[in-house]
A and B are shown apart, each in its own frame.
Chain A
């Protein structure tokens, strides 16, 4: 589904990604771990098409096509979803209105019929129940005044509404207490199918107790240093990132 080859990217002329290779297949969950500044979030941003990142070499194929050539909204409409580490507030725009506009933009691009307000309300309410969300958040402005936990749940709610093929969750666990983490994780698990894939970007192993990955990749200095199964995350937890970054002997100096 997603094939990243030798991906290099810069931000403001600074090299952040230095040759990423990664392959994600349908039905799989991949965890990307690594210390702060290792390039995890940059990878997520580049895949989603955020401004200000320049791809200097390599490519990313998504369902066989050149992902990086597509505008961000076209990637989204074709099923690429990014849950933001810091969800953005949009004052004055109702949460439900926003999500319906997003869903309909996607459906329209696929030649499907738009969902009317009433059907949408039913759909969103049922999804909110799964995420144990307060329905009052529907009529509030997008993310405005939401608590950290509410914002993260709101991201997963959007994922549930948009039903992406490839979901990239950027530090979806940061700032969550254990109860919220459990709810968010069960939300994500509930959305897994044999046809879609999830890429979890996370700093901590904790999240992986709840969303169990098929593959764990450890990044540092803009490269994937090591790839393994879910046990790799546990090993990291007990031995620390130094174990990989130094043990792998990359010789890269910052």
Chain B
């Protein structure tokens, strides 16, 4: 077997989450117009201000053009009129407790390793489970409520805390921001909401698990996370979808607001269906994520492990508005087979002595294309701003690609900017060295890849670091021999 075949074999992946749950859906007809936007809003019993906001977003979206400027990402044009914009598992009745959740749904999440029932829950993690466009269950809700922490579905927050939604929705990612953010603002159906009161340190990991199930639907969630002064929260999202031959659009928006000295740690383990080995099917993951370090000394840390999706397009960013605020971006992006990823971050330094760190690890295998695109902007008033960026690429085989596009825009002479980049090939040397010491091929690849990603993986909450390591191994190893 030639070495290229060997790597091919190693990188051919099996996707373990590709099953479909058979459940009755309440769906809107395909297509998008103002009536659909009104229908979604009505289904969710939303207040007038939100419907107005959606309609403004929709009207703005109509004036926008789908971006086609990505030099390293290509896909057939999306027919937005063939997508179903609202799909929800049909509720039997109003749910009062988890016991009333459709057992089929509970089984689905259990199969995905996310048990929701009391006795099997992950002990130190509160989970909000989102199935297609709707949040189906949230664990540990009451316990968190005692501390004043609000954690649950976005829809519920709209009903129970409209004032917070009105104040913060679109305050970090306005609906005018980009094509997919505008689309999301018009049609988003659910997502997670989280509010940490002043001075409270959230005692457990908060986690949202997103699952796409229905066919021909788009998934448009919206996550809003507000950390009041002096608070701390660690939040994690995970995502999977069934294997389908057609592409599905996932256009989410995440907004984070950190007030004075608050710290938000936001971690993502993204494993949407990547398509098959020939690039058929898979999720288009076009996501806008941004955090605003609004207060002095606030801090936002993004950590992402991106192994899924046919195409990933996302740049979790930080607006460093408060003096002494800190933005961090730790990323591992894996592209195997025909996957494409264009990901990175934007760090916008506005306040004085603001600091940002960017560590990006791209792994390309098969015919995967992996692009890091990042911008560091230092505005005039940002005295003493500092940035450190490090972008490393690892290539497996000789048919994949890695690309790095760092943009710098520095308008303050006191700023310090450092950038380091490297590209290496997963050495056949390294593989042979490991095997000569008795390690199997699979273990060797897994060890080399995890070593490469170490600086990022150690930023993940403990409960998920092991999971992510396994996922990396799985994504790249497939079944050997």
Which residues of A line the B interface, CB within 8 A?
A: 48-52, 71-73, 75-77, 81-82, 84, 87-93, 98-99, 101-103, 105-106, 109, 141, 158, 162
The one of B427, B436, B438, B450 in contact with A92, judged by C-beta atoms closer than 8 angstroms, is: B450
Tell me the smallest distance from the CB of B43 to a CB of chain A, in Å. Answer: 48
Assess whether A90 is in contact with B433, with CB atoms less than 8 Å apart. Answer: yes
In the complex where A51-B432, A92-B450 touch, is A109 in contact with B438 (Cβ < 8 A)?
Answer: yes
CB of B428 within 8 A of chain A?
A: yes
Assess whether A51 is in contact with B3, with CB atoms less than 8 Å apart. Answer: yes
Assess whether A105 is in contact with B447, with CB atoms less than 8 Å apart. Answer: no
Q: Could you tell me the dominant secondary structure of chain B's interface residues?
A: helix
Tell me the bound Cα distance from A195 to B470 in angstroms.
40
5 nearest CB pairs, A to B: A92-B451, A93-B451, A102-B437, A92-B454, A88-B433
Assess whether A73 is in contact with B438, with CB atoms less than 8 Å apart. Answer: yes
Tell me the bound Cα distance from A87 to B436 in angstroms.
12
CB of B452 within 8 A of chain A?
A: yes
Q: Note all chain B residues with C-beta closer than 8 A to A109.
A: 438
**15 A–B contacts from the bound complex (CB under 8 Å):** A48-B432, A51-B3, A51-B6, A51-B432, A52-B428, A71-B435, A72-B436, A73-B435, A73-B439, A81-B436, A88-B432, A90-B434, A90-B448, A105-B443, A141-B451
CB of B22 within 8 A of chain A?
A: no
- Chain A CB within 10 Å — which of B433, B439, B454 has the most? B433
In the complex where A101-B443, A102-B438, A105-B438 touch, is A51 in contact with B428 (Cβ < 8 A)?
Answer: yes
In the complex where A98-B447, A105-B440, A105-B443 touch, is A76 in contact with B453 (Cβ < 8 A)?
Answer: no
CB of B441 within 8 A of chain A?
A: yes
In the complex where A82-B436, A88-B433, A90-B430 touch, is A73 in contact with B451 (Cβ < 8 A)?
Answer: no
Which residues of B line the A interface, CB within 8 A?
A: 3, 6, 427-430, 432-441, 443, 447-448, 450-455
Assess whether B447 is in contact with A73, with CB atoms less than 8 Å apart. Answer: no
Q: Note all chain B residues with C-beta closer than 8 A to A141.
A: 451
Q: Note all chain B residues with C-beta closer than 8 A to A105.
A: 437-440, 443
Q: Note all chain B residues with C-beta closer than 8 A to A89.
A: 430
Tell me the bound Cα distance from A98 to B453 in angstroms.
16
Minimum CB distance partner of B6 in chain A: A51
Assess whether B438 is in contact with A48, with CB atoms less than 8 Å apart. Answer: no
Minimum CB distance partner of A81 in chain B: B436
Given A93-B448, A105-B437, A106-B438, 15 other A-B contacts at CB below 8 A? A49-B435, A51-B3, A52-B3, A73-B439, A77-B438, A84-B433, A89-B430, A91-B451, A92-B455, A98-B434, A102-B434, A103-B438, A105-B440, A109-B438, A158-B437
Assess whether B432 is in contact with A72, with CB atoms less than 8 Å apart. Answer: yes
Q: Note all chain B residues with C-beta closer than 8 A to A102.
A: 434, 437-439
Minimum CB distance partner of B455 in chain A: A92
In the complex where A51-B3, A88-B433, A98-B447 touch, is A73 in contact with B453 (Cβ < 8 A)?
Answer: no
In the complex where A91-B452, A93-B451, A101-B443 touch, is A50 in contact with B432 (Cβ < 8 A)?
Answer: yes
- Chain A CB within 10 Å — which of B432, B440, B443 has the most? B432
The one of A48, A50, A88, A103 in contact with B430, judged by C-beta atoms closer than 8 angstroms, is: A88
Assess whether B438 is in contact with A162, with CB atoms less than 8 Å apart. Answer: yes
Assess whether A72 is in contact with B447, with CB atoms less than 8 Å apart. Answer: no
Tell me the bound Cα distance from A99 to B455 in angstroms.
21
Tell me the smallest distance from the CB of B452 to a CB of chain A, in Å. Answer: 6
Tell me the bound Cα distance from A22 to B452 in angstroms.
41
The one of B428, B436, B441, B448 in contact with A76, judged by C-beta atoms closer than 8 angstroms, is: B436
Q: Note all chain B residues with C-beta closer than 8 A to A103.
A: 438
Tell me the bound Cα distance from A76 to B440 in angstroms.
10
Tell me the smallest distance from the CB of B169 to a CB of chain A, in Å. Answer: 40
